[in-house]
């Protein structure tokens, strides 16, 4: 047995410094296209080129606006078609702090308030006691396996989510966070509802991956929902197909109030979906679009 002790020690510590320091290691994120203004070389005067670029997106994640092309991260599946466009490639950002709060969460009063126990929305806020001991129940509602695998990667020493006080639990009775992956297949509906109901309040629901947010490439069909939001009330959304482990880690930190959610609205994403309902957009950390080659 001692061989394991020695080899374990010899491998040393490889854990990321995130969230204390940004993790810049290559290959930790697939990145996202960045909204771009309609200026040279993609001028407003060339509507054909703009439409052609927007239509390359298979899931409708690119949206043509009057003065820009927007990106809806909830739909992007990293097919890279827009980034690999020969004539007009979309700029690409290798960020990963993608988790955004839904309108449901933003509407919730901060924990500890007088009316905190009254509303459903308040039940979504994990208060101070949860900041360093949170248990997570993961449910697969029709995932292709990639999102689930990235969640699993959080346990490996590179990410080691235990150091931040997060633990996966097999039983929903002990869970504080319900983490859902997958598009929301109809045949998983009851299982997902039952799991959610078994989690005591306060509880937070995190939907992970483009499929869980918008149905992804599957979209809405007769056998699955376009996202799990129609089955359980989602508080935090993590876009990506799949979101890398760091993005999921960021979502967990957001859920416990230890990181600021991404402000997609500041990057002119589909406003009706992600614009703050009464929030303080100025205080939110915005995504830094460091452009990829």
User: Between 122 and 199, whose beta carbon lies closer to another protein?
Assistant: 199
The interface with another protein within residues 104-163 (CB under 8 A) comprises: 137-153, 155-158
Beta partners for residue 208, in sequence order? 181, 238
User: Between 193 and 285, whose beta carbon lies closer to another protein?
Assistant: 193
* Location of structure tokens 């957001």: 254
User: Between 202 and 244, whose beta carbon lies closer to another protein?
Assistant: 244
User: Between 103 and 217, whose beta carbon lies closer to another protein?
Assistant: 217
- Contact between 59 and 33 under an 8 Å Cβ cutoff? The reply is no
221 binds another protein (CB under 8 A): yes
The number of CA neighbours under 13 Å toward the Cβ of 151 is 26
The interface with another protein within residues 95-114 (CB under 8 A) comprises: none
Q: Which two tokens stand for residue 109?
A: 């009063």
The interface with another protein within residues 229-248 (CB under 8 A) comprises: 241-242, 244
Residues in the chain: 293
For the bound state, the minimum distance from the C-beta of residue 118 to another protein, rounded and expressed in Å, comes to 28
For the bound state, the minimum distance from the C-beta of residue 87 to another protein, rounded and expressed in Å, comes to 15
The number of CA neighbours under 13 Å toward the Cβ of 289 is 15
Among residues 77, 207, 252, 262, the one that binds another protein under rule CB under 8 A:
77
* Cα–Cα distance for residue pair 64/35, rounded to 1 Å: 10
226 binds another protein (CB under 8 A): no
The count of chain residues that interact with another protein, using the rule CB under 8 A, is 72
For the bound state, the minimum distance from the C-beta of residue 138 to another protein, rounded and expressed in Å, comes to 5
The number of CA neighbours under 13 Å toward the Cβ of 10 is 6
Q: Given the DSSP bridges, would you call strands 68-71 and 36-37 parallel, antiparallel or unpaired? A: antiparallel
Q: Residues 172-211 vs another protein: string with x where CB under 8 A?
A: x---------xx-xxxxxxxxxxx----------------
Secondary structure (DSSP) of 135-202: EEEEEESS--SHHHHHHHHTTSTTT-GGGGTEEE-S-GGG-SEEEEESS-BGGGHHHHHHHHHHSPSS
88 binds another protein (CB under 8 A): no
Among residues 54, 79, 104, 226, the one that binds another protein under rule CB under 8 A:
79
DSSP state of 259: S
DSSP state of 114: T
């Amino acid at each position: 047995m001692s061989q394991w002790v020695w080899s374990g020690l010899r491998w040393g510590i490889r854990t990321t410094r995130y969230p204390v320091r940004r993790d810049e290691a290559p290959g930790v994120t697939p990145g996202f296209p960045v909204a771009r203004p309609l200026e040279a070389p993609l001028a407003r005067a060339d509507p054909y080129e703009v439409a052609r670029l927007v239509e390359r997106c298979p899931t409708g994640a690119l949206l043509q606006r009057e003065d820009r092309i927007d990106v809806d991260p909830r739909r992007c599946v990293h097919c890279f078609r827009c980034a690999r466009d020969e004539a007009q490639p979309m700029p690409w950002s290798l960020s990963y702090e993608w988790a955004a709060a839904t309108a449901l969460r933003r509407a919730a009063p901060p924990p500890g308030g007088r009316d905190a126990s009254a509303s459903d929305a308040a039940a979504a806020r994990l208060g101070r006691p949860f900041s360093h001991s949170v248990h997570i129940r993961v449910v697969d509602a029709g995932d292709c396996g990639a999102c689930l695998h990235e969640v699993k990667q959080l346990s490996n020493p590179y990410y080691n989510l235990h150091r931040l006080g997060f633990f996966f639990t097999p039983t929903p009775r002990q869970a504080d966070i319900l983490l859902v992956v997958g598009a929301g297949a109809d045949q998983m509906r009851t299982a997902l509802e039952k799991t959610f109901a078994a989690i005591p309040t306060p509880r937070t629901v995190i939907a992970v991956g483009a499929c869980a947010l918008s149905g992804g490439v599957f979209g809405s069909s007769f056998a699955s929902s376009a996202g799990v939001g129609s089955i359980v009330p989602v508080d935090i959304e993590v876009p990506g197909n799949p979101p890398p482990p760091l993005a999921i880690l960021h979502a967990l930190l957001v859920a416990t109030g230890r990181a600021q959610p991404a402000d997609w609205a500041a990057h002119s994403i589909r406003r009706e979906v992600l614009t703050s309902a009464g929030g303080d957009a100025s205080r939110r950390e915005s995504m830094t679009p460091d452009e990829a080659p």
